[in-house]
Structure 1
Amino acid sequence: MIRLTDVKKSFGTNHVLRGINLHVPKGESMVVIGGSGTGKSILIKSVLGLVTPDAGEILVDGKDATKGDRDAFLARFGMLFQGGALFDSLPVWQNVAFRLMRGSLKRPKDQAREIAIEKLRRVGLKPDVADRFPAELSGGMQKRVGLARAIAAEPEIIFFDEPTTGLDPIMSGVINDLIREIVVEMGATTMTITHDMSSVRTIADKVAMLHDGVIQWTGPVKEMDTSGDPYLTQFVSGSADGPIEAVR
């Protein structure tokens, strides 16, 4: 469903992506791991067309991601943003139904609200949450609202950007389990970027280790602990000793 071939991106002298080769089969959950500042977010933004690569090819369902109808292209995607990215001035249900009230996916207001409430229920939130504002919700509830918004339009592809950032371990586990359940239920193709190993083990079918602008290792999550790759081993163990230099 997603294929990146020798994708490169630099910002001045900062060479962020140095030749990314990665493919994500349809219906598979790929988790990209790596330290902060290694280019994980730029990788996702490149697939979405928010960043234009300097070189290489990105195909989504066999078609060039940089060409064609942008609205139709983006309508295939859902996104859970790292910081929630909810609109403070809109009630929860309008946040969830945001895409359903605009553009090619536009639905009547009553129908959009119904769908929003159904998706809120799917992520464990009661209907009375629908008319609250984001500021009235806890961090965990806001993350659930973001997840409901990501799945509201039944997308084929969903991106999760650091889905458990800012959450306590228990709520992180709840969100990870929810994501896994929903991904399996929908049969969606997903890419998650994270450095939370509990998320990796819960969400992933396959894992890709991004370091120094390239994919250092990729394979099934069950092989992650026995990969023999020094970069992956150091990252998974959280050791300061290894090929990845720790900033001291």
Structure 2
Amino acid sequence: MTHPMIEMSDVHKTFGSNAVLRGIDLTIARGTSMVIIGGSGTGKSVMLKSVLGLIPQDSGRIAVDGKSVGSGTGSAERDAFLARFGMLFQGGALFDSLPVWQNVAFRLLRGSLARPRDEARDIAIEKLRRVGLKPDVADRLPAELSGGMQKRVGLARAIAAEPEIIFFDEPTTGLDPIMAGVINDLIREIVVEMGATAMTITHDMTSVRAIADNVAMLHGGKIRWTGPVAEMDHSGDPYVEQFISGSAEGPIEAVR
């Protein structure tokens, strides 16, 4: 039996009096790219962190490849679970004091994925090439790079350990439209090449159209609509229609 790569069933999460996830149901098939859309503060990041097991849900089930998240209790099991994931963080999240190649090879220099230092460096340089950066970037510090280059380094790090699942958190935030397009194209190419399962959270509709196989609209702690990206413009869902159009009129209230 082939399981969905990621499955969330009636997942709830509350922080104090703030109910962030209110019964999330979502399935992401193996090797597909799912993009979660929704406004700021709607729980997109909480969903992502819940799948990683960083935030335990209050109720409901989250499974990765058929196995419930959090079911493994040992550190070795936890390491093996996290080794299946790669992550491109919203702000890049590069280590300022480490040269670029050590940022890219961070997971390859420690823990269960550790490789010899020379091998890790070679892999880092190859991944930098894959995202369009020359080898001479490897020994520079992140502060010496432009925002677009830093984002590429973050992408190289996300794929360095050949993960099965890659998460992208607002991958084009802070980039100009041209560089955002470059990053979107790279993400799509790399996900297809690797056969990885991708989960992206964004409010950038250009990214959605470039990256997604399927789209899910999150609002008020629930998935309001999900379907193929080709059906998004004709979803018939008022939440999706308002979000795409950017209209002030509709079920999504603008926060003032």
Q: Normalising by the residue count of structure 1, what TM-score does the alignment of the two structures yield?
A: 1.00
- Residue 91 (structure 1) shift: 0.1
1:21 pairs with one of 10, 20, 25: 25
- What does residue range 1-248 of structure 1 map to in structure 2 within 5 Å? 1-68=5-72, 69-248=77-256
- Residue 118 (structure 1) shift: 0.1
Q: Distance in 1 between matches of 2:39 and 2:198?
A: 20
Unaligned runs of at least 5 residues, structure 2: none
Q: Which amino acid aligns with 1:94?
A: Q
User: Which consecutive aligned stretches of 4+ in structure 1 deviate over 4 angstroms post-superposition?
Assistant: none
Q: Secondary structure at the match of 1:44?
A: helix
Q: Distance in 1 between matches of 2:96 and 2:211?
A: 29
**How many residue pairs were aligned?**
248
Q: Distance in 1 between matches of 2:191 and 2:168?
A: 11
Q: How big is the alpha-carbon RMSD for the aligned residues of Structure 1 and Structure 2?
A: 0.4
Unaligned runs of at least 5 residues, structure 1: none
Q: Secondary structure at the match of 2:138?
A: helix
Listed one character per residue, the Cα deviations across residues 191-234 of structure 1 (whole Å, up to 9, x for unaligned) are 00000000000000000000000000000000000001000000
Q: Distance in 1 between matches of 2:18 and 2:177?
A: 34
- Residue 59 (structure 1) shift: 0.4
- Larger deviation, residues 112-121 vs 61-70: 61-70
- Residue 34 (structure 1) shift: 0.1
Q: Secondary structure at the match of 1:239?
A: coil
- Residue 67 (structure 1) shift: 1.5
- Larger deviation, residues 59-68 vs 85-94: 59-68
Q: Distance in 2 between matches of 1:62 and 1:83?
A: 31
Q: Distance in 1 between matches of 2:202 and 2:194?
A: 21
Q: Distance in 2 between matches of 1:44 and 1:228?
A: 26
Q: Which amino acid aligns with 2:142?
A: P
Listed one character per residue, the Cα deviations across residues 136-160 of structure 1 (whole Å, up to 9, x for unaligned) are 0000000000000000000000000
Q: Distance in 2 between matches of 1:58 and 1:147?
A: 26
Q: Distance in 2 between matches of 1:154 and 1:101?
A: 14
Q: Distance in 1 between matches of 2:28 and 2:19?
A: 24
Q: Secondary structure at the match of 1:131?
A: coil
Q: Distance in 2 between matches of 1:66 and 1:30?
A: 22
Q: Secondary structure at the match of 1:120?
A: helix
- Residue 247 (structure 1) shift: 1.9
- Residue 63 (structure 1) shift: 0.3
- Residue 134 (structure 1) shift: 0.3
Q: Which amino acid aligns with 2:96?
A: D
